Amino acid sequence: MPNYSKTISPALLWLAIVALSGTEFLQNQWECLLIMFAALELVPRGLRLLGLPPQDWYAFAPIGLCAAYFFTNYWYLALPYLIWAVWLTIKEAIQILALKKIQLLDFVRVFALGYWATGATFVVFYLAGFSPLGFDPVIVSLTGAHFHVAGFVLAVMVYCLMREHPGTLTRTLGWATLLGMPLVAAGITGSQLGLPTILEQVSALGFVVFVLVVIWQQVDLSFQLKYSKTARYLWLTGAGCLLIGAGLAGVYALRFQFPIQWVSIPNMKIWHGTLNTLGFAWLSLIAWEATMNYEL
């Protein structure tokens, strides 16, 4: 019997935070609310799918993270969240070194955790007022959001695809998972350091192609009758949200050659961020949990 309190409570808590956050926070820091949703709702689901169900006390870590956004002098309330992510990543990385034969699936699992830990690191950077390499604080915050969704959640999806449908295509997706986010991060960092922007554009467009293949795989799953209707509808809806989000990301990556006034960071973090977080990530994780018979 699914535990519906675990399914609903984090989302309801997040809605309460949104309702109480105030108009100014909603307008200026929407990506922060998406990060809170990821910490409360997406990360626990992703960890269960990776075979690492969070302990009951885990709930206090994202609650501390949420509190840190509203009590800016107490940014260290987010540290337990960061410490747990880093510790879990290191522990799992050490454990796979003891395996006689390390498989690509093992690397995808550890990289998923590493992306989560990286996202948590940038969240703490933002809360503490630290901007590495002189990045604008908004970019630091958005980096935290991207590593939670485009890093952690997308890697979890590929991990599930590799387990469910092992083959050449899913193995290729596995390798893309290991390379995609680091290359995009390197491209953005290069642009910040004054290197040619073409590096950022090529890496970003390559990541969009990777995402399109994931969408194709997820749409294919949605038409396989062996899965429940609920899971298939969620996969299909999630894939549609990701397709729109990927399209926006592709247009944004080409902003240097084809500038479009509407495609700006404020609009991107609302539309692109919301579609990817509440649409693709949340719905797809619920579908995978239902399919793999995890307790919701």
Q: Are the C-beta atoms of residues 211 and 153 closer than 8 Å to each other?
A: no
Please check the confidence at residue 26 and state whether its pLDDT lies above 80: yes
At 1, the pLDDT band (50, 70, 90 cuts) reads very low
Of 29-33, 41-45, 130-134, least confident by mean pLDDT is 130-134
What is the arithmetic mean of pLDDT over 209-230? 91
pLDDT in tens, 65-108: 999 999 988 999 999 999 999 999 999 999 988 877 889 999 99
Residues 6+ apart with CB under 8 A from 110: 89, 92, 93, 96
pLDDT surpasses 60 at 143: yes
pLDDT confidence tier of residue 263, bands split at 50, 70 and 90: low
Mean pLDDT across the stretch 234-241?
Answer: 94
How far is residue 170 from each of residues 149, 163, 174, 216, measured CA to CA in Å?
19, 9, 6, 11
Share of the chain above pLDDT 90, in %: 55
Give the count of beta carbons closer than 10 Å to the beta carbon of residue 271.
15
Contact yes or no for 81/119 (Cβ under 8 A): no
Nearest to 88 by CA among 123, 40, 54: 54
Percent of the chain having pLDDT more than 70? 88
Cα 83 to Cα 158: distance, rounded to the nearest angstrom:
25
Could you give the 3-state DSSP secondary structure of residue 16? Answer: helix
pLDDT of the residue at 154: 94
pTM of the complete model beyond 0.85 = yes
The pLDDT of residue 190: 73
Of 186 and 76, the structure prediction assigns the larger pLDDT to 76
Rounded-to-integer distance, Cα 53 and Cα 42, Å = 12
Instruction: Determine contact, residues 207/184, Cβ cutoff 8 Å.
Output: yes
DSSP state of 134: G
Task: Inform me whether the pLDDT recorded for 249 exceeds 80.
Answer: no
Q: What's the mean pLDDT in 193-216?
A: 79
pLDDT-based confidence at residue 260 (cuts at 50, 70, 90): low
- What pLDDT does 36 receive? 96
For residue 295, what pLDDT band results from cuts at 50, 70 and 90?
very low
CA atoms within 13 A on the CB side of 182: 8
Would you state the pLDDT for residue 4? Answer: 38
What average pLDDT score do residues 174-188 get?
83
Question: What angle separates helix 79-97 from helix 60-70, to the nearest 10 degrees?
Answer: 140
Whether 233 and 292 have beta carbons less than 8 Å apart is answered as no
Residue type, 90: I
**Letter for the amino acid at 291?**
T
Query: Mean pLDDT of all residues in the chain?
Result: 86
Above 50 in pLDDT, residue 5?
no
Query: Which pLDDT score is estimated for 6?
Result: 52
295: left (phi over 0), alpha (psi -120 to 50) or beta: beta
- What mean pLDDT comes out for the span 239-249? 84
More confident site: 26 or 39: 39
